[in-house]
Amino acid sequence: MVAFRLQTVLNVRKIEEEKLQGELATLIKSILEAESTLNFLRLQKSQTLRILHEKQKEGMSAGEIGIYNTYLKELSDRISSQKKILKELEKARDKKREELIEASKRRKILEKLKEKKLLDALHEEMRRQQNFIDEIGVTRHNRQGMGREQRGI
């Protein structure tokens, strides 16, 4: 078997690609968790607004309205913060995806080179075998010719 001179580099590139795949999977999981948190915060805000409107119809004190408004402001701030976190995670995911694509391209280039070297080695071995077979045929033909000469044919 032919040794591929760049096998170590190919192995490193495979490891690099696997590492990037793991990092991408972690980012995707973080995005799902951030989306879940954002949805939960939005649900909390909508439920709090609904409760506030119902209580306002029944009549509320200014202090209670202030408490609800403070809580709603806090929820709005947390929603805004969560949106920023989500946007940053999505940006990081997109960047990681591009890095993974590039790493994959670099690995595939080496794999194609390895495949080409292997095919070249196989063709060379087939050529050598054919030359050997041809040489045997020529030798046999020459022996048969010499045998005929010796017998006087």
Average pLDDT over residues 125-138: 90
Q: What is the mean pLDDT of the chain?
A: 91
Cα distance between residue 126 and residue 132, in whole Å: 10
Residues 77-124 pLDDT 10s: 999 999 999 999 999 999 999 999 999 999 999 999 999 998 888 899
137 band by pLDDT with thresholds 50, 70 and 90: confident
Average pLDDT over residues 60-82: 94
Q: Distance of CA 13 to CAs 25, 62, 72, 122, 143, Å?
A: 18, 65, 50, 25, 56
From the number of C-beta atoms within 10 Å of its C-beta (0-12, 13-18, 19+), residue 13 rates as buried
pLDDT surpasses 90 at 58: no
The residues spanned by each domain of the chain are 7-111
